Amino acid sequence: MDASKPTIPVTLIPGDGIGPEVVTAARRIVEATGAQIGWEEQRAGAAVFKEGMPSGVPQETIESIGRTRVALKGPLETPVGFGEKSANVTLRKLFETYGNIRPVRTLPGVPTAFSDRNIDLVVVRENVEDLYAGIEYMQTPSVAQALKLISVKGSEKISRFGFEYARSEGRTKVACATKANIMKLSEGTMKRAFEKVALDYPDIESWHVIVDNAAHQLVKRPEQFEVLVTTNMNGDILSDLTSALVGGLGFAPSANIGNEVAIFEAVHGSAPKYAGKDVINPTAMILSAVMMLRYLGLFDEAAAIEHAVFVTLESGVLTGDVLGYDRGTPTSTYADAIIGNLGQRTEAWTIRDAKKLVLPALDPAPDYVRPTERNVVGLDVFVESPLSAAELGASLMELTHDTRLSLKMVSSRGTKVFPPTGAMTETGDHFRCRFIIKETPGDLPDEDVNQLLARISRRHRWMHIEKLQEFDGELGFTRDQGEN
Amino acid sequence: MDASKPTIPVTLIPGDGIGPEVVTAARRIVEATGAQIGWEEQRAGAAVFKEGMPSGVPQETIESIGRTRVALKGPLETPVGFGEKSANVTLRKLFETYGNIRPVRTLPGVPTAFSDRNIDLVVVRENVEDLYAGIEYMQTPSVAQALKLISVKGSEKISRFGFEYARSEGRTKVACATKANIMKLSEGTMKRAFEKVALDYPDIESWHVIVDNAAHQLVKRPEQFEVLVTTNMNGDILSDLTSALVGGLGFAPSANIGNEVAIFEAVHGSAPKYAGKDVINPTAMILSAVMMLRYLGLFDEAAAIEHAVFVTLESGVLTGDVLGYDRGTPTSTYADAIIGNLGQRTEAWTIRDAKKLVLPALDPAPDYVRPTERNVVGLDVFVESPLSAAELGASLMELTHDTRLSLKMVSSRGTKVFPPTGAMTETGDHFRCRFIIKETPGDLPDEDVNQLLARISRRHRWMHIEKLQEFDGELGFTRDQGEN
């Protein structure tokens, strides 16, 4: 220990299955660089779930991370029958680590379909919003619904993060992948946020790509991407795709970064069948530790490890995931080889010059967007009914004709089915009934909403209501297939 | 014309951009096989939008398809500023073509990173549900929401379709890709439906794969898949990924099949910059026509075209997308070459023996699942508020303490923030407030719902309500991150 250098506290979570083995490998290599880390070892995962804690994360662990603000963690398992939520997701959400960073690059000696290509890209995935919130309802006994929530602020924050991350690594291109062509409000929010933020980074080339095309392009010509910013669910799929381009999850590091806390972890799971066998590839965890060192400002130590990993791979020292588990280098031997190669440099493979990442600072006000004018112009009432669309439509018109709202249409899974369109749309037991205020312009008070609901309740079973709003003259809702 | 054979009517939609060129190529080749098709040429797309029809599909086209029940169509464009919805999606939804089939296979002479691999798989994508319904609301000025709707019936239907499709082509493996680990109700509905339906097909090997892992595996080892059944949004991304494995969208055919109608189309867009230049690759449209011929029972004609395409590609006749647009074979010449090769057979590339596809027949009752017992046990009220979670929680408790419901928690994007958890969760202007019925077991009548809403309206702005239901003792809603 060098008493003139400060010791940096880091929470260390070995995790489940092969977690302790890969975390030990990473820790030994970090220590061998001389980085002065004060590890606080903490628990989370399977054993904690089994003790009856439904989050899988004990209070001491939460407090440790709250103190150190940095964690290096192994994979956590949610044992079947214990807890509804993944402990990995819980940690990300508890500490609002909104930026998930998943870098991949072509590695020496690792054979893939893309070995001869120069892939070096980073997926920057929004990490706390979107369908991952897991907010779900059975609307009827036959129809499930999940809510996809995307905020303007969350989208601007991750977009800005993407550009800042690019700058911190000297990258010059940032793309954004969304499905804004189909989901104009939710995915469109991310697209618009990205395009707005891009204006502040004129030195960086930026463009938008539709997410299915992004998946296509990542396979066809992955070299075109440097940084790819995207929403949570898209990013989940795209980042797992990219890790396959360079040799699989054994080589896929990640970071979850928020304003207060950063958590570094391999992407892979706990692989229980390999646990304790000293055969697993620890590269993903080692490269996660490299990301951590850069986050902590220990750039030389980070570069030293990255060089040593490349020199080791170049020399043909490879683990079982690449060579076959009967022939691979053991985990501990592989870590020893990297430690032995510390101080060596590879010429063929560049290591990026990294700078400290600047985290975005956004307006902390809760009402991030403030319209000057707003109105409630109608109501969508979701109804469970065994009736046909025509019968339901007629009944609703009769029930509500003397209210301040009129029935505009009934739809089934986004397609208008009443008034009839002549199409072959199948209906089930789940209908959305759109009511629009009669006087325009108008703003519907809650008393009228309640009156409408009371009328509908006389004969029908509703389970879900959405107010139709207008903000500064812009519709806050989409039209349906077949709606004019 | 052979008067002893019936003429089969098919609606032909040339479409926009390069559409007419690729459709003409496909039509000429189909006719050269001797297949007796009575083409009804119809319009849809850009020009129709510009005439002021917001769907992009004229009534005559809808009537023609309603008559012929089969369409071969080129790509349709939605010009910016006209119509909110894609005409392609409109056609799929109007005719309830719930099964989107996207086959890909390694092709002779087409260089890709996977050229030496034997890829031959089909993505079977649910085509009318899910986020593609495009049902969206601005919940607050800062927060957008899209609804992801997945039905039990829709999921069973597409699963059964996947197995039947496998049988029709003599395939022996069917996988299902979902995100059921995060969305247990919505994506879980698809997983459960698939596993239930699989029991009826003991001769076919089946398994479930998490969708992000599916993307990973499709890049790492695509040969492991034969048929991959999935939900609409997942399928959108995965199928575009797979088309890149075999040479891009120029080679990606598709079919949209429902109980009544089938629409065959290339996956690619209208590529306006290549329109009228006789340079576009028509293979995707030609292979779509091959799928159509099989659907119509014209198996020999289909096989003849498929052989001729393979012989042509093997001979090195390739279009501009592969060779560069200055050096590629013109579209019309490429079609001529295929016509010239009709009757020839390739030995190196197998053509599958196809049988008529058996479409699933499901219980037509609207209430597809019928619970014997059901209760409304609470209410989620979504509130827009500039308050902190603690302030909002306290206010709601005060407003509602003497109702039949009690406030259980307030959450922000799926994470509990009241009562406080000690976590660093950021809040915005969008909160979900969960109220649970006090007496248990209980079933909340609508009057009590209305009373609660009236109380909340006194001080707060709500925009969205979800009833919390239980069906046969099972919770019809998910718990939150941090909720016990």
Q: How many angstroms away from the CA of A122 is the closest CA of chain B?
A: 16
| Residue in B with minimal Cα distance to A448 | B454
- Cα–Cα distance for residue pair A284/A282, rounded to 1 Å: 6
The β-bridge partners of A416 are A411
Give one word for B473, left, alpha or beta, with left for phi > 0 and alpha for psi -120 to 50.
left
Interface subset of B 81-140, CB within 8 angstroms of A: 84-86, 89-90, 93-96, 112-114, 117, 128-129, 131-140
Cα distances from A248 to residues A186, B69, B225, in angstroms, run 31, 45, 18
Residue B9's CB is within 10 A of a number of other CB atoms, namely 14
- What is the C-alpha separation between B56 and B45, in angstroms, rounded? 5
* Mean pLDDT taken over chain B: 94
Check residue B424 and give its pLDDT: 74
Is residue B348 scored above 70 in pLDDT? Answer: yes
Q: B398 touching A, CB under 8 A?
A: no
Cβ under 8 Å to B: A residues 208-247: 211-213, 215-220, 233-234, 236-241, 243-245
Cα–Cα dist A165/A312, whole Å: 27
Best of B143, B224, B376 to disrupt the A interface by mutation (most A CBs within 10 Å)?
Answer: B143
Task: Mark whether B132 is an active-site residue.
Answer: yes
Q: What is the dihedral of CA B165, B170, B171, B172, to 10 degrees?
A: 110
Which residue in chain A has the smallest CA separation from B147?
A147
Q: Is B367 tagged catalytic?
A: no
Please judge whether B454 and A457 are an interchain contact, meaning their C-beta atoms are less than 8 angstroms apart.
no
Q: Are A256 and A92 in contact (CB under 8 A)?
A: yes
List residues bridging with B72 in a β-sheet.
B12, B264
Contact state of B480 with A135 under an 8 Å Cβ cutoff: yes
Contacts (Cβ under 8 Å, ≥6 apart) of B382: B139, B430, B431, B432, B433, B462, B463, B464, B465, B466
What whole-number distance in Å separates Cα of residue A39 and Cα of residue A9?
6
Q: Give, in degrees to the nearest 5, the angle at Cα B317 between B315 and B322.
A: 125
User: How far from B440 is each of B40, B404, B405, B408, B476, CA to CA, in Å?
Assistant: 63, 11, 11, 14, 16
Cβ–Cβ pairs < 8 A, chains A and B: 400
Instruction: Sort out which chain A residues have CB atoms less than 8 A from B149's CB and list them.
Output: 139, 143-145, 413-414, 430
Beta strands in A419-475 (DSSP E): 430-437, 461-471, 474-475
Residue B434: strand pairing partners: B380, B409
Interface test with A, best of B155, B233, B245 (most A CBs within 10 A): B233
Give yes or no: B179 in active site: yes
Q: Which residue has the tokens 């700078």?
A: A355
Least confident of B45-49, B81-85, B342-346: B81-85
- How far apart are alpha carbons A194 and A207 in whole angstroms? 9
pLDDT the model gives residue B89: 82
Is A27 near chain B, with CB under 8 Å?
Answer: no
Instruction: Report the chain A residue with the minimal C-alpha distance to residue B241.
Output: A216
Which pairs from B55-64 meet CB under 8 Å and 24+ separation?
A: B55/A482, B55/B83, B55/B85, B55/B87, B55/B90, B56/B82, B56/B83, B56/B85, B56/B86, B56/B87, B56/B90, B57/B87, B57/B90, B57/B91, B57/B94, B59/A422, B61/B11, B61/B13, B62/A422, B62/A423, B62/B94, B64/B11, B64/B40
- CA-based torsion, B295, B299, B305, B306: positive or negative: positive
A448 catalytic, yes or no? no
- pLDDT tens track of chain A, all 484 residues? 677 889 999 999 999 999 999 999 999 999 999 999 999 999 999 999 999 888 899 999 999 999 999 999 999 998 877 766 788 888 888 898 999 999 999 999 999 999 888 999 999 999 999 998 889 999 999 999 999 999 999 999 999 999 999 999 999 999 999 999 899 999 999 999 999 999 999 999 999 999 999 999 999 999 999 999 999 999 999 999 999 999 999 999 999 999 999 999 999 999 999 999 999 999 999 999 999 999 999 999 999 999 999 999 999 999 999 999 999 999 999 999 999 999 999 888 889 899 999 999 998 888 899 999 999 999 999 999 999 999 999 999 999 999 999 999 999 988 889 998 777 778 899 999 999 999 887 899 999 999 999 999 999 999 999 999 999 999 999 987 667 5
Task: At A122, give phi and psi (nearest 5°).
Answer: -130, 125
When CB atoms are compared, the residue of A144, A186, A187 closest to B189 is A144
Average pLDDT for residues B268-273, to the nearest whole number?
94
Could you read off the pLDDT of B49-97 as tens digits, one per residue? Answer: 999 888 899 999 999 999 999 999 999 998 877 766 788 888 888 888 9
Question: B366, A429: Cβ pair inside 8 Å?
Answer: yes
Mutate to test the interface with A, among B123, B157, B241, B251 (most CBs of A within 10 A): B241
Q: Which residues in chain A have Cβ-Cβ distances shorter than 8 Å to B423?
A: 62, 93-96
A-proximal residues of B, 375-394, CB under 8 Å: 380, 385-388
Q: Please report how the helices B331-340 and B299-314 are oriented relative to each other, as an axis angle in degrees rounded to 10.
A: 120
CA B380 to chain centre: 30
Catalytic entry in A212, A300, A443, A472: A212
- Residue A457 in contact with partner chain B when CB distance is under 8 A: yes
Q: Is A80 an interface residue toward B (CB < 8 Å)?
A: no
CA distance A357 to chain B (A): 21
Name the pLDDT band for B278 (thresholds 50, 70, 90): very high
Query: Which chain A residues in 403-422 lie under 8 Å from chain B, judged by CB atoms?
Result: 413-415, 421-422
Please say if the pLDDT value at position B455 is more than 70: yes
Task: Tell me how far apart the alpha carbons of residues B237 and B45 are, in angstroms, rounded to a whole number.
Answer: 24
Q: Which of A84, A237, A463 sits opposite B467 (nearest CB)?
A: A463
pTM: 0.95
Strands in B37-41's sheet, in edge-to-edge order, are: B37-41, B8-13, B70-73, B262-266, B253-257, B99-105, B120-126, B227-230, B173-178, B205-210
Residue A287 touches partner B, C-beta closer than 8 Å: no
Q: Which ipTM score applies to this complex?
A: 0.95
* Contact flag A144-B181 (C-beta cutoff 8 Å): no
Q: Which one of B50, B85, B184, B212 is the catalytic residue?
A: B212
**Do B366 and A241 lie within an 8 Å CB cutoff?**
no
Distance (Å, rounded) from C-alpha B176 to C-alpha B229?
5
Task: State the DSSP code for A399.
Answer: H
Contacts B244 to A, Cβ<8 Å: 215-220
